[in-house]
Amino acid sequence: MKKTILTSVLAIILMVTITSCSSVQVVADYDKQVNFETFKTFAFYKPGIDKAEISDLDKRRILRAIERELMTKGLTKSENPDLLVSIIASSRDKIDVYNNYYGGYGARWGWNPYYYGNYNTVSTSTEGSLYIDLIDAKKKELIWQGQGVGYLNGSNMEQKEERINEFVKEIMAIYPPGRNK
């Protein structure tokens, strides 16, 4: 009975820990000499996007989300853009091993009758990184780069699309520099 309760409590703690890691951590770097208010139009930089090593379906999901976010910021898509948008995406598997000791007082020294022992818990997750690059179309220079890192969860298409939208929204929330979210 005690073992079942303890196992349930540990499982709940592990689940809460894993789900609390679902936020996206974002950072940006940019050229401080650039006046970002002058950029009004954008287009996608096909050569850069083609190099991203993710599925074409995920590329389209990311590009739609970026387009939506840029349009909410007042930019318009154009054949003669001020900004070119490129992406870099990657993922890596993370494996965490937890050594869980449980037992009563004195169990480490072998004299407690309620000693249960040790067991290991292994969890795997996938951490993804998404870089969004904004390039000055006239100068062909990178002027802003946003990066989002977070756990990729979701086994179905809707969850995947929701997570991609979250990544892009969090990254684009810090563009342009100096503007509040």
CATH code (residue 142):
3.30.160.670
pLDDT for 131-180, tens place per residue? 999 999 999 999 999 999 988 776 688 888 998 999 999 999 999 997 65
Q: Decide if 166 is inside a domain.
A: yes
Q: Which helix (H) or strand (E) holds 72?
A: helix 56-72
Beta strands (DSSP E) in the chain are: 25-30, 41-44, 76-77, 83-102, 117-136, 141-152
Domain encompassing residue 38: 24-97+124-172
Which amino acid belongs to residue 79? E
- pTM to 2 decimals? 0.71
Tally of structural domains, the chain: 1
DSSP 8-state class, residue 137: T
Q: Decide if 92 is inside a domain.
A: yes
Q: Decide if 9 is inside a domain.
A: no
Q: Decide if 28 is inside a domain.
A: yes
CA dihedral 36, 38, 44, 48 (to 10 degrees): -50
Pairing of strands 76-77, 41-44: parallel
